[in-house]
Amino acid sequence: MTTTTSGTSGTSTTTLEELERRATARRDRPSYGHDALIACDRLVRIFTTDGVEVQALQGLDLLVTEGELMALVGASGSGKSTLMNILAGLDVPTAGAAKVAGCDLLAMDGKARLRYRREVVGFVWQQTARNLLPYLTAAQNVALPMQLKDGRKGGTRQKARRAEELLAMLGMSEHADRRPHQMSGGQQQRVAIAVALANNPSVLLADEPTGELDSATGEQVFAAFRRANEELGTTIVIVTHDQAVASEVRRTVAIRDGRTSSEVLRRTEVDETGQESLVAREYAMLDRAGRLQLPAEYTEALEMRHRVALELEQDHIGVWPDDKG
Ligand SMILES: Nc1ncnc2c1ncn2[C@@H]1O[C@H](COP(=O)(O)OP(=O)(O)OP(=O)(O)O)[C@@H](O)[C@H]1O
């Protein structure tokens, strides 16, 4: 038996067996994000204040692979901090699914959530004061998460050694005995990274970690994130407005109106003279329902409004302005 399907690109003929084969292949496909370390699937977060609803996340999809160092960008109010709070285990989404390192963020009870925040994720916040305890030295701040994890169980020397190693990796050995007020903002952020890495988390989350710093200091802090990623293999997600940070990572994902809207990928190319250069390319996001957000400057340039015509070609899909008036 054959069936005829028609689309904007014309007509084609498909056998019933072919349709069955496609349906089976679809059923046997691995689940969305099955091999990602972070998988957000149609995440929704609605806040209700004084009877007014704000949809901070409106079906956000995001996959992050183990070992990635990536940036999240977006205008103020686009939902970046809401997403980070969910990934940090501090907030729970209204709907959708979110998994980090095998932990289901919607299903965790209080105990599992505490363990998640202590062992699976580490975070660095924009406000330097929020990251460190003011009355502890840098080394004591780094040792604290290990003590909280193990209770009073020994290993004090081991913890002190790990704190020393982390501070050395981030170029902060000389400041190990200083308290936060005796360090600059950039130095405090580097210690904060060491604190966040203390329990060897799978993921390090940072919300505007260079936001309060001048650009030279911001660069040093970003270099510390890069070192943590390269030397420890920690997966790192940084929310940033800092163009220097956003353009130095391999992947920058943009959030618009509570959804991921576009993504810039960068890769190193070597020309025939052996000269290396970083090539960046911007991609639009295609969600699982097939929805695509076209950049406003493209649609405005061609006066595309409610309706567009599509054409399937061998290797691309053409999008045309509606010519039916
Ligand atoms: N606790 C809350 N209660 C009510 N509304 C909230 C709450 N948190 C965030 N929102 C709203 O959700 C939307 C997204 O906010 P969010 O802080 O995630 O944006 P953002 O992209 O991080 O912005 P910024 O770059 O300014 O930090 C905004 O409209 C904000 O007002």
54 lines ligand 1 (CB under 6 A): yes
| 236 Cβ neighbours under 8 A, 6+ residues apart | 68, 69, 70, 203, 204, 205, 206, 225, 228, 229
Ligand 1 neighbourhood includes 70 CB (under 6 angstroms)? no
Domain 38-283, what architecture? 3-Layer(aba) Sandwich (3.40)
Between the CA of 85 and the centroid of ligand 1 the distance, in Å, is: 11
**Cα 19–chain centre separation:** 37
Quote the DSSP letter at residue 174: G
**Tokens 């003011």 label which residue?**
134
Q: What angle do helix axes 156-169 and 185-197 make, rounded to 10 degrees? A: 130
Q: Which of 58, 62, 73, 82 to mutate to test ligand 1, by most ligand atoms within 8 A of the CB atom?
A: 82
Please identify, by atom number, the ligand 1 atom nearest to the C-alpha of residue 241: 25
For atom 10 of ligand 1, which residue has the closest CA? Answer: 56
Domain ranges of the chain: 38-283, 295-325
CA of 18 to the centre of ligand 1 (A): 47
Residue 105 half-sphere exposure, CB side, CA atoms within 13 Å? Answer: 29
Instruction: Let me know: does 136 contact 198? Beta carbons within 8 Å.
Output: no
The tens-digit pLDDT sequence of the chain (325 residues) is: 444 444 444 445 678 888 888 777 777 776 777 789 999 999 999 999 888 999 999 999 999 999 999 999 999 999 999 999 999 999 999 999 999 999 999 999 999 999 999 999 999 988 888 889 999 999 999 999 998 887 766 678 888 899 999 999 999 999 999 999 999 999 999 999 999 999 999 999 999 998 888 888 888 899 999 999 999 999 999 999 888 887 889 899 999 889 998 899 988 888 888 888 888 888 988 887 788 888 888 999 999 988 999 999 989 999 999 876 5
Which candidate, 118, 116, 113, 90, places its Cα nearest to that of 101?
116
**Single-letter amino acid, residue 83:** L
ipTM: 0.96
Among protein residues, the one whose CA lies closest to atom 5 of ligand 1: 47
